[in-house]
Structure 1
Amino acid sequence: MLVLSCAALSLSSSRLPAVSTSDRLPAGSAGHLLLDRRTALRLPFAAAVSAAAALRPSPAAAIDLTLDVSGLRWADIRQGVGGVPRDGERVTVDYMMTRNIGVTPMAGGKIYSTKDSQQPFSWVLGDGSVIEGLDMAVLGRGGIPPMKPGGIRRVLIPQQLGYGVGRGVFQDNTAARVGVRSLLPVPPVGFEWRDKQGDVVNAYARFKDLYMNEMRLDEPGLLLDVILRPQDAAPEAAAESAVAMGGAAPPSSPNDQT
């Protein structure tokens, strides 16, 4: 016998086949419809598809991004407070790296998030160690204002401001996309996380396929959601940043990180 929840099936009665009285539950058994195998097989294929779609999470909502003359697109999801970072200062961020479709995140396209690894990312602004687009996202430039602590900013970074091509050798000397330079951020080699279906995802392998693969014909941009952490971030502030990214709080000290 097959039991289907009425709440999961948003179907009008006109789209369902006739069900005989003998196929129905006795009076008082509300909330479920009992179908024998013969009746279940008569359900339209479209109805089954509609039921499955109703149970799937919706893709991330689109956010209007402003196009800068540099080619970087950006939008503030949440405004921060306090002083702005300066060139030459060390900053720490949490970020989520996602594959994009146009200017929106691709459903199921997450590559890596620091909240999964509990390893916030830190660098000195303007030291040349990171992709130019990330420096611009935090420090600001031209029509892009600098971020403030606690702020969340989404940026879509084009190839020329990202890992690019024709710029040297990648940090692990992997024979892949020709000329990708040793620039950060890069997911930790070997780090894995589980998606909503419970499947294991190797973050570095997914990143490598997108940005180090010489066989790719397309050159995907990089979508980052960046949270600028306060310089003297207390455990409570770190927890707030992690929760804003949808995950658990990061460890309270570097000694707690694995």
Structure 2
Amino acid sequence: MSTTEQRVAVVTGGARGIGAATALRLAADGNKVAVIDLDEAACQSTVQAVKDAGGTALAVGADVSDSAQVEAAVERVVAELGAPTVLVNNAGVLRDNLLFKMSEGDWDTVLNVHLRGSFLMTRACQKHMVDAGYGRVVNLSSSSALGNRGQANYAAAKAGLQGFTKTLAKELGKFGITANSVAPGFVVTDMTAQTAERVGMGFEEFQAAAASQIPVQRVGRPEDIANAVAFFASPDAGFVSGQVLYVAGGPLN
């Protein structure tokens, strides 16, 4: 693929974990990648890894829940890399607590980053996809969308993203744009380490306990999720839209 044919992909929450692995995979697949995270400096390790592998990447600092910052971020991507036609809404935070202990701030923060952030990023990028007659939107949901103790805010946000995905698929399909969702099960990231700390378990013990309940008998790695995102983000997935793919090592029902 020549440079002139390279598509531009945007990955939010790309500084670490699933976002970083996804940015690397999309770059390996031939995309130029904009890595967006709250702290631009934190994106540099991902950007450098892409460049070291021969790819093109740009670090952009932005709060995805802030419309002005989102618009500015996307404008910068357009100016420095080109118009984005692939968007991976991965940015997320945890504010876990049981319902009776959960503050309004903890509820709002989680819903704002996951849901409002995905809405704002998609709204800002879709105009470029419509103009190109081609687009791929991939939203990161979670197995927690099915309900998870201590995560009323997170579960609601991740379930909401599935409805958002299906609506995007219906609205944007006629413009050559697909929208799909990847819902990870247990994946080793900083966020799952936080969960282990919350429940008072060592992270290794927490992973072993999780693996024992997963049919393939191991926990997920960020690369497992990146592989699934890469399919949805590829030209090959043009007849797949509005789907939710659980990547969890086995069925969850």
Question: What TM-score, normalized by structure 2, do the two folds share?
Answer: 0.26
| Larger of the two Rg values belongs to structure | 1
Which has the larger share of helix?
Answer: 2
Which has the larger share of strand?
Answer: 1
